[in-house]
Structure 1
Amino acid sequence: MYDIEKIKATRELLKCSVEKSRKLGVEISERSWRLESCEQRLDFLSVALRDLSCKCTLYKMSTHDIDRVIGPASSVVNIFDVICGFETSLSNDDVSEDVFAYVTTVKRMEEALGLLTDNCKLVVSWLDTGSCCDSSLYVRKVNKCLSIVRGLQGTEERFRSKGGVLMIALDKVEVEYASMLRGIAPFSVALPDVIRNVQRVVERLGVNGRVEKCMSVYVEVRGLNVRKALEGFDLDYLEEISLTEFDSVLSVEHYIDQWDKQLEFVVKYLLDTEHRLCVEVFRKATFKDRCMECFARVAVQSGIHSFIKFGNTITKGKKEAIKLLKLLDMFGSLNKLRSDFNRLFSGRACGEIQTQTRDLIKKVVNGICEIFWELSLQVELQRPTSPPVDGSVPRLVNFVVEYCNQLLEDEYWSTLIQVVEIHQGWNHESFEKGLLLNEMQNIVTALGLNIGTWAKRHEDASLSYFFLMNNHWYLCKYTRGTKLGELMGNEWLTGHEEFMEYYETLYLKESWEKLPALLNEEGLVLFPGGRAIDRQVVKKKLKEFTEAFDEIYKKQSNWELCDKGLRWRIRQLVLRVVLPPYSSYLEKYASSIEFEVTTTADQRIKYTAKTLGNMITCLFEPKVGKYGNSTKCTELSDMVNNSFVTKQLSSTPAAA
């Protein structure tokens, strides 16, 4: 079975080979007939020219006249013979095997055809003059020569017409041209030999009226290469994303970072390589002044317009602080690529790209300045809002401090200075760096006024003081040693530190410092000078203390302090205020009532000193993630006991 299939396949192969051989034989026969016909005509022309020379001598024509016709006529014979050789080479040779040799042959054929045409014109003009002789035989031979030369005179036109030898050869060169361009990979520098061959091909196509075709092939091939090079990138977002003035850029923040990296890659690497290749390819072409048209069209294929469109989309988003940072990022990216843009997209051919880029930069600069000069106003507009009910640092305070520090970083700050200077120049206004520093201070000042206004909205005085203490600590702690702290100055930092201690004192006085007074010894002794203790008064005072403690603890158990250090400090101060008098009271009087209290639950002592200490050390914890990882409330509870408290509180700074 296998042998039969193999025989069938072999038979089909032989049939195909026979058919190809038959067609080749027909083609060879046709070419042989053409060559034989040309040879016969040339032989006749040679004989006729010799006879013509004899006749000219017989009729006593001048030697000068003879030479004028014989020379060009002989050239016609020789040139046509050369052309036939070129025709054979161009028809049989494979252009891809040796591009240089093939293109050289094309060039030589063009030159030979030009010489043939010129010489035929000369011969025809002189033969026309000689046809006036009386000899009828002579006239017939001259007319025969004229017929042959005129036929040869149309050789160039036939070769250049559709289906002609030269046109077929140029078509083959054009195909090889596309193949060579396709073989030059993106980001790579083509070998000098490859570039030279492409230049020769471009030159030949150009002088043969194929300028537009040459350019379109270049754009098609290199544009396809560029698109393939970008296939690994997800560029759909450039066209798909849209924003209005009410949409936040937060929703597309990650795309902006992606845009930055991809734009740099496309311009500095992909288009830079394509630009250098385009300049090299068309450097020697007769139409080299149009090479930037090709590059501009290739650049469009890379999606450069889509990158610019995405930038314009971002500028349309809502005016907000985060947008300012993203616009600064975009300006930094565009500014970093400025020299590349100027070099790659110069000239009229890239005029549209230039215009769109300038328009984008203008929108980015205007957007940055509009948002920056309104930042303090935006902070002020938050003043009517309500403060956090837990006395914590408002998100706006946290955001503004971090935001200002970020804005003052060297990269952002230098970019902002550059942008504002450009904007002032556009408006013919003088630029002063101090204007920006003053505006940054205005933002922080507006934030301080917000904090004071928010504190007044707390009806509970202790919560108001707690809130102010918390926020002044935050401003002092989280700006010291930062760019913002340097800008605001040491006096500003010291002022917040003093305010924090002041409100700390008021907070303790308004809340925890009221508890010790409930454990005074007034009314505990039954008889003057006696040692008997009124147990009911002891229990009453403990109950009042416990109820007051529970009320404060319940109210403040949800309050939050922003910083681990501040939490430790305030807990220590509360422990110092509450625990020593409570421990002392229990030490003196608990035994007298414990002996009596044995059955009823509501008569037992609710808290031991250690329990009370453990509860206090768990106060003011923030919610997880609000200011970072919350501190475990057990960090102090295991160490709290009467002896520890007595020892530690002796070294704790006084609240005042």
Structure 2
Amino acid sequence: MRSKLFTSSKASSPSHSYAQSPARTPMMSSPMNTPFHHHRTFSASIMEEDLLDAEQIIQRWDLDSPSYTKIEYLFTGERREAKMFIKSVTSLQSAMHFFVSESASSEKIIHAQKLMQIAMKRLQKEFYRILSSNRDALDSESVSNHSYARSSSVSDDDNVSDQEDEIPNSPVSDRKKISVSDMAMNDLKTIADCMMSSGYSKECVKIYKIIRRSIVDETLYNLGIENYTLNQINKMDWEILESRIKSWVRGEKVAVRSLFYGERILCDFVFSSSDKIREACFSEICKERAASLFEFPELVAKSKKSMERMFRTLDMYNAISDQWTDIEMIFSFESTSVVRTQAVTSLVKLGDSVRVMLTDFETAIQKETLKTPVHGGGVHPLTRYVMNYLVFLSDYSPALSDIVADWPLLVQSPLPEAYFPSSTSSDDSSSSITARFAWLVLVLLCKIDGGAELYKDVAQSYLFLVNNLNYVVSKVSNSNLSLLIGVDWIEKHKQKVKQYAANYERIGWSKVISSLPENLDAEKLTLEMARNCFRRFNLEFNDAYKKQSTWVIVDHKIRDEIKVSIAKKIGPAYKEFYEKYRNVFRGVDSVVRYAPDDLGNYLSDLFHGTGAPGSVSNSSHSSSSSSLSRSR
């Protein structure tokens, strides 16, 4: 025997109200037929009729009846029979209340209880069928798009209106307005309300939890969400762990925005008549699964750390941070606070892990020793690695701003003003992340300065600085680093690149330039002096070309600018000198080795890093024809 068979009814049935109407109660003079006695007898007869009506409908759907067809269901098609069935259960409840007030041991109560058990058994089966056969219709996306405006229970009102009855007979286009998802949700709510009001909450909730929990488990599995221990994660190769993290990031977004969100909507709707039940139901279905979902990032954060794990760690941080509002809303119940706590814990642990990796990254740069000069004075591998790392890192600046906001940069001396934007942000988190990136770039540039000292030729060391500083500036300019470090920093360091380039030209070509007379109009050179000038020019140009034939300028724009600049410094002066003295020497080839056009051709070969060191004296460039043969 159930401890609680029914609950109080909110309102009397129409027949009960009719029995209480004075106009419908005749006045009798017999002592046994007083108005009060007649009223109770009449009410009893009405309740007996309601009991008989309910019995006819309920027994028609008795699962144990030999006449029952097992393929038939109440909540299909027109729903007219379902409405009658729900009304019968409501009437049965009212009758049971009445009979209990008359006599607690009445046979009618026992009979009514048996009918209620038959009805509840039927509703349990209907509830199970709707949940299991509408898995697709009750998926998270369909549920989240559910229109509450159309959510009307089949048992609303005293109250099954003619208009409701006409829905199944309406045109097909009208019936389609109520989706399968809406219909299933409405049916579930109708059954849940009826079972809970009849004292069968546990049976209803048990069925719901079993089916919906299996759906949650299956969905998480299909999303690639699995449970791991810290020991398992530590034993994974990075390639395997990285693939698990990628699956988690994709799966977490779907799980929060679709799966758990849909489960919360469905649970809130179906069990809307009881706050306690809807909370307990949702909690038992989703709490453990969600807490496990958000535990994975914490375990990854606690595992071995390396710089290559930085970006996947930030991916997980962003996944939780970006959806924190949804997480708070979905798991707002007190009973699901463990999910919110776990999500926050993972955020904190991931942030701590990022800080450790940033520190390790800085330490790795500082410990890097540049022992071997880069061939041709090109971009050092350290410069490429660090700047590409920082460029990718800058894409996570919102997350990094949160992580380093309360993590001040501690250095022995303050950063130069050139390493900060001119307009200081009032946002402490923005200032903190700006200082962090500016400091890492400065650490790299110090290493670049040290690498320049590896070159024996001072001109080549400046070319190395041109290549590497320009690479840094270019990476900053064409990424989110420009927003963090600032335009002023970019402009100041572009000027430094130009200064290094000018220093290279001055040192690398000064002997060639100084070998030519400064002012031919003012100076009257003897033939011997002119001969010596040609010889010295030949020697210095050959030496400069020989040394620089394997040097490289990576940026094509800077390469062209430097070639043009060198050509302007040498070409016009040499051409004037050449035209004035070329024809005065006998055996001119032994003295005049280069035609003016040849100089441009030789210069065009430079800075590609493909030339082989050697002398240019073996080639003949003493005539314009040889110059044309080398032109491009």
TM-score by structure 1 length?
A: 0.60
SS class of match (2:607): coil
Partners of 1:589 and 1:376 in 2: how far apart?
64
| Residues 170-569 of structure 1 aligned to structure 2 (within 5 Å) | 170-175=123-128, 178=131, 182=135, 183-188=137-142, 189=146, 191-193=150-152, 194=183, 197-223=187-213, 235=224, 244=234, 252=242, 256=246, 263-285=252-274, 288-299=275-286, 304-305=290-291, 307-312=293-298, 314-316=300-302, 319=305, 324=310, 327-372=313-358, 376-384=362-370, 386-398=372-384, 400-401=386-387, 412-421=396-405, 434-475=431-472, 496=493, 500=497, 503-504=500-501, 506-508=503-505, 511-514=508-511, 548=543, 551-553=546-548, 556-557=549-550, 559-569=551-561
Given that 2:463 and 2:500 are in contact with CA atoms closer than 8 Å, whether structure 1 keeps it comes out as: yes
Partner of residue 87, structure 1: 55
Query: CA–CA distance in 1 between the matches of 2:592 and 2:292?
Result: 76
The change in CA–CA distance for 1:487 and 1:307 in structure 2 (over 3 A counts) is: closer
Cα separation, 2, equivalents of 1:420 and 1:103 = 60
Separation in 1, partners of 2:236, 2:569: 52
Aligned-partner Cα distance in 1 for 2:485–2:187? 67
- CA gap 1:223/1:386 in 2 versus in 1, 3 angstroms: farther
How far did 1:283 drift? 1.5
The 3-state SS of whatever aligns with 1:201 is: helix
Q: 1:422 to 1:298 in 2, by over 3 A?
A: farther
The 1:192–1:503 alpha-carbon spacing in structure 2 relative to 1, beyond 3 Å, is closer
Give the Å deviation of 1:447: 2.0
What is the alpha-carbon distance in structure 2 between the residues aligned to residue 186 and residue 476 of structure 1? 48
Preserved CA contact (<8 Å) 1:177 1:201:
no
Q: Secondary structure of 1:284's match?
A: coil
The structure-2 alpha-carbon separation of the partners of 1:542 and 1:165, relative to structure 1 and needing over 3 Å to count, comes to: closer
Identify if the C-alpha distance between structure 1 residues 642 and 343 changes in structure 2 by more than 3 Å, giving closer, same or farther. farther
1:360 Cα deviation after fit:
0.8
CA–CA distance in 2 between the matches of 1:381 and 1:269? Answer: 47
Q: For structure 2, list consecutive stretches of 5 or more residues without a partner in the other structure.
A: 1-29, 62-72, 153-182, 409-426, 518-524, 611-622, 628-632
Is the contact made by 1:515 and 1:548 (CA closer than 8 Å) also made in structure 2?
A: no
Contact 2:124 2:204 in 1 (8 A): no
User: Which of 62-71 and 344-353 deviates more?
Assistant: 62-71
**1:82 to partner: Cα distance:** 4.9
Q: Secondary structure at the match of 1:568?
A: helix
For residues 102 and 563 of structure 2, the distance between their equivalents in structure 1, rounded to whole angstroms, comes to 113
Residue of structure 1 in register with 2:607 after alignment:
620
Residues 62-83 of structure 1 show CA distances to partners (whole Å, capped at 9, x for unaligned) of: 9789999999999888766653
Residues 579 and 609, structure 1, Cα contact 8 Å, conserved in 2? yes
Quote the Cα distance in structure 2 between the aligned partners of 1:279 and 1:83.
33
Structure 2 CA distance for aligned equivalents of residues 237 and 589 of structure 1:
88
Q: Please tell me whether the aligned partners of residues 519 and 542 of structure 1 are also in contact (alpha carbons under 8 angstroms).
A: yes
Instruction: Say whether the 8 Å CA contact 2:50–2:91 is kept in structure 1.
Output: no
Work out whether residues 244 and 317 of structure 1, in 8 Å CA contact, stay in contact via their aligned partners in 2: yes
* Mapped partners of 2:33, 2:488: distance in 1: 112
Equivalent in the alignment of 1:25:
none
**Matched length:** 505
CA, structure 1 residues 201+451, in 2 after alignment: closer, same or farther (shift >3 Å)?
A: same
State the match for 2:630 in structure 1: none
Give the match for residue 106 of structure 1.
89
Distance 1:486 1:208 in 2: 64
Q: Is the 8 A contact 1:159 1:165 kept in 2?
A: yes
Structure 1 residue 202: Cα displacement: 0.9
Distance 2:354 2:388 in 1: 19
Post-superposition offset of 1:278 = 1.4
Between the aligned partners of 2:474 and 2:44, the Cα distance in structure 1 is: 100
Structure 1 residue 567, shift from structure 2 partner: 0.4
Partners of 1:230 and 1:488 lie apart in 2 by: 42
Give the aligned residue type for 1:420.
Answer: V
Does structure 2 retain, via aligned residues, the 8 Å contact 1:519–1:545?
no
Would the alpha carbon gap of residues 451 and 249 (structure 1) be closer, same or farther in structure 2, given more than 3 Å must change?
farther
Question: Is the Cα contact below 8 Å between 1:99 and 1:197 reproduced in 2?
Answer: no
Letter in 2 for 1:312: E
Q: Check 1:590–1:316 CA distance in 2 against 1; reply closer, same or farther (3 A cut).
A: farther
> 1: CA distance between counterparts of 2:501 and 2:509?
11
State the Cα RMSD in Å: 5.5
Check conservation: 2:47, 2:95, Cα contact below 8 A: yes
Change (3 A) 1:230 1:187: farther
Displacement of 1:224: 5.8
- Give the % identical residues: 17
| Structure 1 match to 2:20 | none
TM-score normalised per structure 2: 0.62
Q: Match of 1:336, as an amino acid? A: D
* Conservation of the 8 A alpha-carbon contact between 2:376 and 2:552: yes
SS at 1:617's partner residue? Answer: helix
Closer/same/farther in 2, CA of residues 248 and 612 from structure 1, 3 Å limit: farther
Give the secondary-structure state (helix, strand or coil) at the position aligned to 1:283: coil
Structure 1: tracts of 5 or more residues without a match: 1-61, 124-148, 425-429, 521-527, 596-602, 624-640, 646-656
1:559-606 CA-partner distances (Å, limit 9, x unpaired) = 3323222101222344456666877669827995489xxxxxxx9999
Determine the C-alpha separation between the residues in 1 that align with 2:211 and 2:124: 16
Cα distance change on mapping 1:228 and 1:499 into 2, 3 Å: closer
The Cα offsets for residues 225-261 of structure 1, whole Å up to 9 and x where unpaired, read as: 6678789x753689799865997699848965x7556
Amino acid at match of 1:104: K
CA contact (8 A) 2:445 2:469 kept: no
Helix, strand or coil at the partner of 2:348: helix
Contact 1:106 1:169 (8 Å CA) reproduced: no
Deviation of residue 105 (structure 1)? 1.0
Of 221-230 and 100-109, more deviation after overlay is shown by 221-230
Structure 1 residue 588 and structure 2 residue 582: aligned?
A: yes
